[in-house]
Amino acid sequence: MSIDLKTVKHISKLSRISLDEQKAKKLETDLNSIFKWIEQLNELKTENIEPLSSIAETKLRLRKDEIKSKNIREEILKNSPDDNKDFFVVPKVVE
């Protein structure tokens, strides 16, 4: 299966990464060579195999639902590119 330029642009949209035409073409080449190599997985029959999503395979621990960090608003906003002291600021979303 090959990945065409249209698909590359669609993935770039899903990834929220803008691409110019040249970069998109380069990625089309790269992704095709990578996926051609990945296709070898199809040699394996895996119908009855349970997928492995995590090595830990343990149940997640439960804990009490309690607040441990208090008054950290300033810390949280400290690295924001734009804030108004209380909130993160983003371009207008709703007209």
Partner 1 sequence: MSNITDLSLSELVSNIKNKKLSSHDITSEYVERSKKSKNLNTYIEETFEAALKKAKEFDSKPDLNKKLPGIPIAIKDLFCTKNVKTTASSKILNNFIPTYESTVTQNLWNDGAILLGKLNCDEFAMGSSNETSYFGNVISPIDKDLVPGGSSGGSASALAAKLTPATIGTDTGGSIRQPASFTGTVGLKPTYGSCSRYGIVAFASSLDQAGPMTRNVNDAALLLEVMSSFDNKDSTSVDFKRPMYSKDLSKDIKGKKIGIPKEYRVDGMSEEIEKLWEDGKNYLKDCGAEIIDVSLPHTKFALPTYYIVAPAEASSNLARYDGVKYGFRTEGNNLIDMYEKTRSAGFGDEVKRRIMIGTYVLSSGYYDAYYLKAQKVRRLIKNDFNNIFQKVDAILTPSTPSSAFKIGDKSNDPVSMYLNDIFTVPVNLAGLPGISIPAGLDKKGYPLGLQIIGKSFDEQNILNIAYSMEDKINFKFNLKEWWMND
| Length of the chain as a residue count | 95
Contact (Cβ atoms closer than 8 angstroms) between residue 24 and residue 9: yes
Encoded one letter per residue, x for contact with partner 1 by CB under 8 A and - for no contact, window 12-31 reads x-xxxxxx-------x--xx
Q: Does 63 bind partner 1 (CB under 8 A)?
A: yes
Contact (Cβ atoms closer than 8 angstroms) between residue 33 and residue 14: no
Contact (Cβ atoms closer than 8 angstroms) between residue 1 and residue 31: no
* Site residues for partner 1 per CB under 8 A: 3, 7-8, 11-12, 14-19, 27, 30-31, 33-34, 37-44, 46, 49-56, 58, 60-61, 63, 72, 75-76, 78-82, 88, 90-93
